Structure 1
Amino acid sequence: MLTGKQKRYLRKEAHHLTPIFQIGKSGVSKNMIDQIDDVLEKRELIKVSVLQNNFEDKHELAEQIAKGTDAHIVQVIGNIIVLYRESAEHKQLDLP
């Protein structure tokens, strides 16, 4: 579980990132979770965009992705989900 200080740090680091994945009307699929898992291993911190044509709750989508990838939800703001998972091989961020 991330502390408040760690979440603030990760939000600051994610501010300049652009979303890598988009969730459309079809929702979250197993293939998408696998791809997000691979990218999290390389980058540790990513943004996912939820498109306007998706009518599911953004917090539920974030929970599905986090559970499938064993990641932490840093923030859900507007249509953007920020996820973090520490990488075993490509460690880039040192959390406070």
Structure 2
Amino acid sequence: MATAVTLSNKQKQHLKSLAHSLKPVVLLGANGLTEGVMAEIELALEHHELIKVKVPDEDREMREKIYATIIAHTGATKVQVVGKILTMYKPSPAAKIQLPRA
């Protein structure tokens, strides 16, 4: 497990603006958070750095636990949660997204 990057408010705002037009790349299905889904999330983060994951679970507490598990497992940083969609960021070695200085 990797450690998440700490983002300033300015950097979070920048990522939120970039994420605004993105569609969720991973949607949790009826099977919930499986190893396959985690692998998809890892791949998407490596490839895109900034992704959205949709968790259609109706139970808010369950969604929060799923978000926490995804964040802990991937080492990504939670940018925001809007409704049932988690936006997360993890810089890749390619550093595709340039963050503003803190």
Report the equivalent of 1:45.
50
Alpha-carbon deviation of 1:92? 1.2
Gap regions ≥5 residues in structure 1: none
Gap regions ≥5 residues in structure 2: 1-5
Residue 17 (structure 1) aligned with residue 22 (structure 2) = yes
Q: Normalising by structure 1, what TM-score?
A: 0.87
More deviation in 35-44 or 20-29?
20-29
Helix, strand or coil for the counterpart of 2:15?
Answer: helix
Report the equivalent of 1:93.
97
Residue 32 (structure 1) aligned with residue 49 (structure 2) = no
Report the equivalent of 1:7.
12
Q: Normalising by structure 2, what TM-score?
A: 0.83
Within a 5 Å distance, the mapping from 1:75-90 to structure 2 comes to 75-89=80-94
Alpha-carbon deviation of 1:62? 1.3
Q: How many residues align?
A: 94
Conservation of the 8 A alpha-carbon contact between 2:16 and 2:80? yes
Alpha-carbon deviation of 1:47? 0.6
Tell me the percent identity. Answer: 35
Residue 61 (structure 1) aligned with residue 28 (structure 2) = no
Q: Which has the higher contact order (CA 8 A, sep 6+)?
A: 2
Conservation of the 8 A alpha-carbon contact between 1:26 and 1:54? no
Conservation of the 8 A alpha-carbon contact between 1:48 and 1:80? yes
- RMSD of aligned Cα (Å): 1.5
Alpha-carbon deviation of 1:24? 3.0
